[in-house]
Structure 1
Amino acid sequence: MESQQNQAPKPLWSGRFDATPSGELELFGASLTFDRRLWREDIAGSVAHATMLGRQGVLDEADVDAIRAGLARIADEIEAGTFVFDPTVDEDVHMAIERVLTERIGPAGGRLHTGRSRNDQTVTDGRLAAKGFAASLHDAALDLVAALAERAEGESGVVMPGYTHLQPAQPVLLSHHLLAYAWMLLRDCRRFDAALDAADASPLGSAALAGTTYPLDRAMTAGAMGFSSVIPNSMDAVADRDFVCDLVYACSMCQMHLSRLCEELIVWSTAEFGFVEMDDAHSTGSSIMPQKKNPDFCELVRGKTGRVYGDLVSILTVLKGIPLTYDKDLQEDKEPMFDAFDTVLGSLHAVTGMVRTMRVRSDRMAEAAHEGFMAATDLADYLVGKGMPFREAHGVVGRVVADCVKAGVTLQDLTAEELRSWSPLFGDDAPDAVAIDAVVSRRTTFGGTAPDAVAEQLALLKEAVAGEAR
């Protein structure tokens, strides 16, 4: 018969049971393989809880001192990589830490769980993690905003085609184009802020669902852990995972914006466009074609967007049918949050590096800005200035473009005399209306692409970035 010391320890909850799940079922139900990354949060929550129990007279100070010292030692070992997490022994990070603590300090370790449940413990860890994730994502997104602003300022005056339907539409400043993404990412920063705020309330002290008979000071533990408030309903406290949804939604939006930017960088770096060249350190080659330089990291960011969307659908689906309060389904809240955070943070760092190091081919952008009849609207506006209704002017310029396509010439190739063949309202200054730099400079409305308007926009962005900095 196997000796008692060689048998796997019974779960901490095993008192009610004559038998426990088989090894296969234990592994199926275990979360230790992924929730072990919450060890810092778990120890922080336990230290706060033990300290409060001592302050309230529930535990004596000797027990509190032993608990805190034991947890500090465990934290040092985990940090050093010498602590062994074994999912065949422990179901989750909470039980792993508490079991080892109790083995080392004796009965005091068993008193740590007084007045709390894994139900409020696990959601406390999740909220602490979500706050940290949101803060890290906010800062990484803000760094990308800064990178886009730096490139916008550094590429001042570079003209490129603007597109609708991926067809040449009107010329714009590259700075204007880059700042569009900066504003998107700034909104993501604010979504991460909102996700942090959503997680910033303490559930600890709610116990399993109904509170506890012990004289807990929930405000004390909340303050010790850095929470700004206490969740007022114990049932909501243990059942709520809205904060996970908020964080993963913010991740999904941010990843979508990164994917759109990367799609443009992929297109711009093709030989057909040739607008940018990605730095060698942010590109890869081919195993068979020596000449290839592939924007693989852009493609990976674009490809990973689907998995972040999947994380959001996953957590929403987990929550849709769960009755109050805690159900084992809620164990499935962690992996979508972890995966979304890891994926988006990695993507933000990759894209920031690409933006800062890519080479802009301003000559090719300027050349492309003269293609595609992108001054057509300005030519119609010229006729409007001469008294022609816009719809009529639109038709006239449409015919001008159609004839130019047939003749293989651009609007800039036409003389004033040639333009008058389509309308006598075209004066000698009509060719000036289609000069590309002038087309850009005339768009002076707030938010427009004229140099002065872009400079104003950049100043506003810098002010907003300064306000977001922590």
Structure 2
Amino acid sequence: MASSVKKPWGGRFREDTDRLVEEFTESVSFDQRLALHDLRQDLAHLEALKRAGVVTEEEAERIARGLSEIEAEIREGRFVFRAELEDVHMNIEAALREKIGPLAGKLHTGRSRNDQVATDFRLYLRDEIREILRLLHDLRRALVEKAREGLEIILPGFTHLQHAQPVLLAHHLLAYYEMFRRDADRFQDTLRRTAECPLGSAALAGTPYPLDRELTARLLGFERPSRNSMDAVSDRDFVLEFLFDAAVTMMHLSRLAEEIVLWMSPEFGFVDLPDALCTGSSIMPQKKNPDVAELLRGKCGRVYGNLLALLTVMKGLPLTYNRDLQEDKEPAFDTADTLRASLKVAALLVRGLSPRAERMRAAAEEGHPTATDLADYLVMKGLPFREAHEVTGRIVAFAEERGLKLWKIPLEDLRRFSDLIEEDVYEWLSVEGSVARRRTYGGTAPERVREALAQAEEELSAEELP
């Protein structure tokens, strides 16, 4: 079936667009979320047209009133987006024409949908990044609050998912604080690089109208206009950066979620979550499942997929605009929605965690976690580390054979392995002593962790959110 809707580019065509082609190529079903950004851009462009003498003061006022009416309809949910009008830009232009007549056509002077959509998209992502930065701030604050509660709790640190060395729970949680701090830094950098305004680049070569691009950039909150019109309409690096930043953040969220899932299992038993943050089983009445954390872990995959999808779209595109770029929005929209929801849920999970301190402490004593301390003790007595490592390994094997913890081995048995070992060795073999000795900057010693907490709290208090 042929379409009967007049297209803005239809003058050169003798046939209407095939209905299937219309359905295949329309984007308004998803790019309508750019509508308010498009209206902001319309008003900035209108001001530039007025100052350039393209529209009169009276014409500008009429156009602005029409745009204001459209904005009210969109905010109130009364605006009807029509798929046959292709995209959000043409829907707004058509609605403006219905309100003020042919004068609406003047608004498109000196611009193309190419620079229009690039500008809208930057405006949208800048808003999304600002919200994500606020959510990252809240998640980091939740981690700091929970870390302060865990200053006295010792648990095993792991390598290869095997007990390694004892650490403070606060130290463990602050490791995630550092991950999300880096994520915030990356988003801040991306926010800075989205601060170029493509408007005025037109289709690809610029425009003959004397439009003040510095003005429109300033009116829209950008720092500067883009430097090259061809690059401006075809660049999607800013979207890829956003997707990469989001993918790394989701990876960190997935790691946190994985540990919550592990820690809630009976085999670990390190934490509990409130019933409100868990679900049950349709068949097993006893179950309390950390489904929220599992789903948080699972959503990482879709964000990875969105990044790869757009990288693949972009890899072979010649300059400048190509319709392939219509495929840039859905991955970005889905990623923004997923990341926002995930950050909110993660903060909720962190605040809901109830550490089981006794179980953590008991687990910290399993697996000879102070073996490295014993080797360090021997080094302090003058033995080279590699020899100390070997001696300690033999002592661990001895403890394993007899089912003893290192600090339970009698002194006379320890001295069979090295006559350097004396009574003071037991000061080195407790988990509290092990934790307390890790005093290097960034270590798990209580005084260092308190310093790290104070630094994190100061950073959060001083952080200026955009």
Give unpaired runs (5+ residues) of structure 1. Answer: 1-6
Tell me whether 1:401 sits opposite 2:393 in the alignment: no
Tell me whether 1:363 sits opposite 2:358 in the alignment: yes
Letter in 2 for 1:395: E
2:187·2:242 contact (CA, 8 Å) conserved in 1? yes
Name the structure 2 match of 1:4: none
1:310 to 305, 311, 328: 305
Tell me whether 1:14 sits opposite 2:5 in the alignment: no
Residues 371-380 or 274-283, more deviating: 274-283
Name the structure 2 match of 1:254: 249
2:69 to 65, 73, 88: 73
Q: Give CA-to-partner distance per residue, 1:196-238, whole Å, 9 cap, x none.
A: 1111110001111111111111111111111110002111111
TM-score, normalisation: structure 2: 0.97
Letter in 2 for 1:302: R
Letter in 2 for 1:336: P
- Separation in 2, partners of 1:22, 1:327: 20
Displacement of 1:8 in angstroms is 4.4
> Number of paired residues?
464
Name the structure 1 match of 2:279: 284
Letter in 2 for 1:56: A
Name the structure 2 match of 1:295: 290
Matches within 5 A, 1:303-342: 303-342=298-337
Displacement of 1:108 in angstroms is 1.5
2:52·2:209 contact (CA, 8 Å) conserved in 1? no
Name the structure 2 match of 1:29: 25
Name the structure 1 match of 2:375: 380
Name the structure 1 match of 2:270: 275
Question: RMSD of the TM alignment (CA)?
Answer: 1.3
Name the structure 2 match of 1:127: 122
Name the structure 1 match of 2:59: 63
- Separation in 2, partners of 1:362, 1:10: 70
- Separation in 2, partners of 1:396, 1:199: 58
- Separation in 2, partners of 1:101, 1:358: 53
Name the structure 1 match of 2:384: 389
1:282·1:354 contact (CA, 8 Å) conserved in 2? yes
1:82 to 74, 78, 84: 78
- Separation in 2, partners of 1:362, 1:273: 12
Letter in 2 for 1:245: L
- Separation in 2, partners of 1:361, 1:108: 70
- Separation in 1, partners of 2:346, 2:192: 26
Letter in 2 for 1:84: V
- Separation in 2, partners of 1:91, 1:300: 35
Letter in 2 for 1:393: A
Displacement of 1:64 in angstroms is 1.0
2:101 to 84, 103, 106: 106
Displacement of 1:379 in angstroms is 0.8
Residues 62-71 or 120-129, more deviating: 62-71
Letter in 1 for 2:358: D
| Identity level (%) | 51
Q: Give CA-to-partner distance per residue, 1:418-459, whole Å, 9 cap, x none.
A: 322322221112122101101100000000000001111122
2:375·2:385 contact (CA, 8 Å) conserved in 1? yes
Name the structure 2 match of 1:3: none
TM-score, normalisation: structure 1: 0.97
Displacement of 1:464 in angstroms is 2.7
- Separation in 2, partners of 1:125, 1:413: 68
- Separation in 2, partners of 1:86, 1:418: 85
- Separation in 2, partners of 1:307, 1:116: 35
Letter in 2 for 1:357: G
- Separation in 2, partners of 1:16, 1:462: 63
Name the structure 2 match of 1:265: 260
- Separation in 1, partners of 2:16, 2:125: 33
1:414·1:431 contact (CA, 8 Å) conserved in 2? no
Give unpaired runs (5+ residues) of structure 2. Answer: none
